Amino acid sequence: MRELKGKPIEKGRASVKRLKTSSVATSYQREWFKNLKEQVEQGEPFAFVNADVPQEILRAMEIPYVVNQWWSSVCSAKQMSPYYLGLLNEHGYRQDLCRYCSLSLATSFDPTPENGPWGGLPQPTVAVTRLTCDSQAKIFELWSQKLDVPFYPLENTVPRSIPSNWWEKASHQWEDLFEPHRLDYMVEDFKGLIRFLEHHTGKTFSEVKFKEVMKLANEQAEYNRKTRDLIARIIPSPVSITDTVPAVMVPQWQRGTQWAVDIAKALYKEVKELVDQQKAVCENENVRLMWLGRGLWFNLGFYQHFEQKYGAAFIWSIYLGLAADGYARYGEDPLRTLVSRTVGMEDMLHMPPWNSDWYVNEAKRNGIDGVVHLISDSCTQSAGGTYFVKKAFEDAGIPILQLRADPVDARGWDDSAMTAQLEQFIENKIGVK
């Protein structure tokens, strides 16, 4: 327990890593971050970006970057979010503002930034986000002003039509799926981003390197698809989301590198080996659960309690699901192809029926018995459309529990109450005791 203005903060439980691939990925990222700090100290440029910006462009320009949401997850997993968010509130920001995307802004108020995770975030050269919600624009604007770094906001577009089964069309039929006017607009925006990066970093965009980055990103996505498909058809499941999330999320931020491809391949091979050896997370698997929404970063051990008590395994999360269906793109024009990877990301994750249809399809594919949907009311993307997600599962006859909590802010978390909610859901709605 820690104290924050007299209120006790429950310390979350770390998950037990069962896969070698997960441990390798997290160790690599820690060493990568150490090297990044050294490069920045030597004068190399460094970008701070949101999760949905075209990171492949920065990769092709050899500009290292840290992803906003990844850094939030690290701060939260290190049990530092109450301290940082407390600083944000002390500087006049309301406690009910979006925290997942503003946690990095909160770290900028720390008088001793070197005490942050892994020595703290280095001073960036540029910042880039997409204007996918009202908060994003303001968070990055304030953050860039405070650190005195140039900021590039990428525009966001919305669809005029609702497709069916987008996951079957995204990799090859994306020109029709995402509508030409959206693609045309974002191509020009990406060209502007390239000019911005060249001007502020001194780096040059290489189309040859860019094509190689796109090729490697597709290879990574195809291995993730194989892993997702393998887990979906095996009962009992060989792994849970505490195994797959770090093994998928960390390489996602290294997308377009051979290392990321190798990790995706290693994950598939390790999961297949478990299947061949007939090993499972729960030998007596009674319940297959889907976790919708962001990871519970300050308490990843939360999921494993239900494996032990009920034989209930969380086998699906958006991290592997989207990595399987949302990233592979094939086309002749590499920049337009990259646009197709980026333009519909928010639709897939946050806009019904794009997201709800996909979620239900994934639940059926994976033999899901129940769904737990983490909803953060401070996030318009997370909270918006949740009625339609719930209705889609109810119409499909799949029980769903809406669990209201913040993915990074441990201050409002009541572990006993949340555990009880989920236990009652498993016992009363799914029927396993």
Give the residue from 335, 352, 353 showing the smallest Cα distance to 343: 335
Where in the chain are the domains?
20-429
3-class SS letters over 186-218: HHHHHHHHHHHHHHHHCCCCCHHHHHHHHHHHH
Distance CA 365, CA 368 (A): 8
Give the residue from 405, 305, 336, 382 showing the smallest Cα distance to 101: 382
User: Per residue of the chain (433 residues), what is the pLDDT tens digit?
Assistant: 333 444 556 666 666 678 999 999 999 999 999 999 999 999 999 999 999 999 999 999 999 999 999 999 999 999 999 999 999 999 999 988 889 999 999 999 999 999 999 999 999 999 999 999 888 889 999 999 999 999 999 999 999 999 999 999 999 999 999 999 999 999 999 999 999 999 999 999 999 999 999 999 999 999 999 999 999 999 999 999 999 999 999 999 999 999 999 999 999 999 999 999 999 999 999 999 999 999 999 999 999 999 999 999 999 999 999 999 999 999 999 999 999 999 999 999 999 999 999 999 999 999 999 999 999 988 877 777 899 999 999 999 999 999 999 999 999 999 999 999 999 999 999 999 8
Distance CA 185, CA 198 (A): 21
- Note the residue count of the chain: 433
